[in-house]
């Protein structure tokens, strides 16, 4: 069991083929996601927040009219496109989504995990065989056997991997928070349908700025101090004598002693 005291960022498929404007399968308005994602990873670097990243490897995208989970697909449609080939530039993650202390796990059927967890590594990068991240056995084991304060979900595509990740994490009884300005989608209609499904689960949404305000080391230190102060106040109230006893003690102290 891997226990993490603070938040963990779940970074989904922030690769060149999806985020570059000339990528093989760029998401809708990809250029608008660069700045928020950069801020999210700067926040992670400065506050030593663990990051679990995924990366498509030799993926065949869904066809234009292919059936999407919960979507408007009409069955078999136009063939998809082959993206994120390991030998192509589009396979690489965007430069601002990689941390110095990282470890990459190639595509295999292994389930072993490092015993030291995130003590020596801040970012793990898992290759995915499909749009469903839980079909990667090693990643599935890490997400199933880990406990954290909250998982901050960012990445793409919203109508496929992001939705599957959120529903799967909730089924595993994890607390999930969506970073709203760090989510990308291929199709605006399908993305909106995915948003509605996720919102129906009462998942909390925050922007990158709000994430920094809540989970930065300074904010967590202030919250810890406030919690300790509140605990001390409760102890003082529990151990303090009743008001009637205080009054009796004060009255007895002021009487003094008299001789007859």
Specify the CATH number for the domain of residue 26. 3.40.50.850
Higher local confidence (pLDDT), 220 or 73: 220
Q: Is 63 helix (H, G, I), strand (E, B) or coil?
A: coil
* Per-residue confidence band for 132, with pLDDT thresholds at 50, 70 and 90: very high
- With cut-offs at 50, 70 and 90, classify the pLDDT of residue 223: low
pLDDT at 242 over 70: no
Mean pLDDT (the chain, rounded):
87
Are 26 and 143 members of one domain? yes
Query: CA torsion 34→35→40→43, rounded to 10°?
Result: 140
99 lies in a domain?
A: yes
Range of the domain at 237: 220-255
For the chain, the domain total comes to: 2
Specify whether 123 is located in the same domain as 251.
no
Taking the alpha carbons of 133, 161, 171, 39 in that order, is the dihedral positive or negative? positive
Question: Closest Cα to residue 20, out of 78, 81, 87, 97?
Answer: 97
Same domain flag for 134 and 238? no
On whether residue 110 sits in a domain, the answer given is yes
Confidence band, pLDDT 50/70/90 cuts, at residue 226: confident
pLDDT tops 80 at residue 200: yes
Give pTM, 2 decimals: 0.82
Percent of the chain with pLDDT over 70: 85
3-state helix, strand, coil in the chain (%, to 5): 40, 20, 40
């Amino acid at each position: 069991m891997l226990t993490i005291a603070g938040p963990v960022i779940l970074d989904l498929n922030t690769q060149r083929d999806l985020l570059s404007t000339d990528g093989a399968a760029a998401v809708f308005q990809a250029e608008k996601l660069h700045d928020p994602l950069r801020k999210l990873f700067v926040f992670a670097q400065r506050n030593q927040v663990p990051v679990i990243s995924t990366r498509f490897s030799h993926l065949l995208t869904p066809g234009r009219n292919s059936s999407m989970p919960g979507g408007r697909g009409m069955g078999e449609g136009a063939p998809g496109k082959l993206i994120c080939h390991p030998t192509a530039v589009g396979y690489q993650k965007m430069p601002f989504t990689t941390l110095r202390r990282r470890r990459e796990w190639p595509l295999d059927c292994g389930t072993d995990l490092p015993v030291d967890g995130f003590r020596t590594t801040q970012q793990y990068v898992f290759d995915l065989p499909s749009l469903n991240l839980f079909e990667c056995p090693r990643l599935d084991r890490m997400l199933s056997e880990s406990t954290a304060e909250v998982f901050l979900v960012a990445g793409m595509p919203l109508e496929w991997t992001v939705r599957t990740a959120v529903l799967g994490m909730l089924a595993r009884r994890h607390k999930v928070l969506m970073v709203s300005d760090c989510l990308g989608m291929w199709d605006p209609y399908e993305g909106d349908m995915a948003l509605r499904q996720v919102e129906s689960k009462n998942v909390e949404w925050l922007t990158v700025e709000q994430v920094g305000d809540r989970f930065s080391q300074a904010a967590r230190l202030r919250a810890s101090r406030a919690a300790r102060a509140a605990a001390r106040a409760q102890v003082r109230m529990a151990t303090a004598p009743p008001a009637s006893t205080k009054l009796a003690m004060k009255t007895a102290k002021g009487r003094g002693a008299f001789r007859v």
